[in-house]
Amino acid sequence: MDTKKALPILFLVMFLVMVGFGIIIPVIPFYAEEIGATPTQLGLLMAVYSLMQFLFAPMWGRISDRIGRKPVIMIGILGLSLSFFLMALSTELWMLFAARIIGGFLSSANMPTVMAYVADITSEEDRSKGMGIIGASVGLGFIFGPAIGGVFSQSSLSTPFYLAGATSLVTFLFVTFVLKESLSAEQRSSQEKEKNSLLKALNGPLSMLFLLQLFVSLSLAGLEATFAYFAAEKAGLGSVELGYIFMIMGLAGAIVQGGLVGRLTKKLGEGVVIQLGIIISAAGFGLILLTEGFGTAALFLTIFGIGNGLIRPSVSSLLTKKSTTGHGGTTGLLSSFDSLGRIIGPPLGGWLFSIAIGMPYISGIILSMVALILYQFYQARTKTSHSLDQ
């Protein structure tokens, strides 16, 4: 499929997927509470989704290498739709958990397969730009989704779930009729032969990039889980102001990923952009400690968001260029490490916050520095393996 046609289609697909996902975010806590969930059970309800993503994203990536991208994307979106409708119909807590488990299992097919699709259709030179466009669509979906969910929850708490299910169903039909397959039969059979390459990737220099993504996700998830409490205590900000702050941060991240990443990687290369992103993120964490009000909170979180927006597309691009396995297997493994960070990050951030309110952000600086060191290790090991090959 032509890149110029496919990228806007993939942008729209992931935007709609994330709008559907985002619609239920502001409603889930109240909906679960109404059914009888305790705060601990609510935490588990959120975590079980990420756990399923962590476990099954690599599997779906490998399947997409074998059978093609389009059928796996369709499974992922249909699974998401099914889980939303099941949540809307849930009358007991176990039903809600079952819906989240089904949703996590099936929808873990979406992100790695879409990123693998981008890797299939872009040249190495334009790879980061393509990955950035997908990152931007995800960011924008997360901005609009919760706002829509908040509006529709006023009539009934189950309405956003029906709306999210319908949005995903429309997205599924759009993919069915508009998106074309990116992998030819020959490419599928050649990628099938590379069964052990993922294990090689985890033992080789590329393992450093997967770990780097884990530490970046860990620091981001810790911030997301604690910033509302931090801003309320430090600057007296409420939920409306926080909504605006996260919206500004999300827009900045989307602009960076959609427009800036591709240009920067063409000029400087992925490695420099990854390191630049980590340094800006670390600076953002440090500045957040100086928050005094709405203006400073929005500015400092935006600086962090810009840095974070540079990292993921560049890591995805570099991995798909350097890995010898199928793109789906590689992006699936990357999604798995991302999810692991999102599982560990919130409870770790909460625990650190209970020690001192600034601790999640100090740990964010430390985790960023660890990510930077991991990139240096990646470079050193790459040079060593190159000299051994010669």
Averaged pLDDT for residues 51-57:
95
Average pLDDT over residues 309-321: 95
In this prediction, residues 66-87 reach a mean pLDDT of 96
Q: How confident is the model at residue 83, as a pLDDT?
A: 96
pLDDT at 33: 87
pLDDT of residue 110: 95
Listed by start position, the domains of the chain span 3-177+185-385
Q: What confidence tier does 353 reach under pLDDT thresholds 50, 70, 90?
A: very high
Radius of gyration of the chain (CA): 20
Least confident of 39-48, 163-172, 260-269, 335-344: 39-48
Residues 6+ apart with CB under 8 A from 214: 337, 338, 340, 341
Q: What is the CATH number of domain 3-177+185-385?
A: 1.20.1250.20
The answer on pLDDT for 196 being more than 60 is: no
**What is the spatial distance between Cα 118 and Cα 319, in angstroms, rounded to a whole number?**
13
Looking at residue 319, its pLDDT comes to 94
pLDDT of residue 30: 85
Residue 155 — pLDDT band, cuts 50, 70, 90? Answer: confident
**Nearest CA-CA partner of 304 in 274, 277, 281:** 281
Task: Give a three-class secondary structure readout of 313-347.
Answer: HHHHHHHHHHCCCCHHHHHHHHHHHHHHHHHHHHH
The reported pLDDT for the residue numbered 388 is 60
Residue 215 scores a pLDDT above 70: yes
Between CA 95 and CA 342 the distance in angstroms is: 23
pLDDT of residue 150: 82
132 has a pLDDT exceeding 80:
yes
What pLDDT shows up at residue 194?
A: 53
Could you read off the pLDDT of 272-302 as tens digits, one per residue?
A: 999 999 999 999 999 999 999 999 999 999 9
The pLDDT-based confidence of 221 (bands split at 50, 70, 90) is very high
CB atoms within 10 A of CB 148: 18
Once rounded to an integer, what is the mean pLDDT over residues 222-241?
89
Mean pLDDT of 74-84: 96
Relative orientation angle of helices 39-67 and 110-121, to the nearest 10 degrees? 40
The alpha carbon dihedral of 357, 360, 365, 370 has a sign of positive
Q: What is the mean pLDDT of the chain?
A: 90
- Res. 317: pLDDT tops 80: yes
Q: What pLDDT score was predicted for residue 16?
A: 93
| Mean pLDDT, rounded, for 335-346 | 94
Please check whether residue 262 is in contact with residue 126, taking contact to mean a CB–CB distance below 8 angstroms: yes
pLDDT given at position 303: 97
Average pLDDT, integer, range 153-180: 93
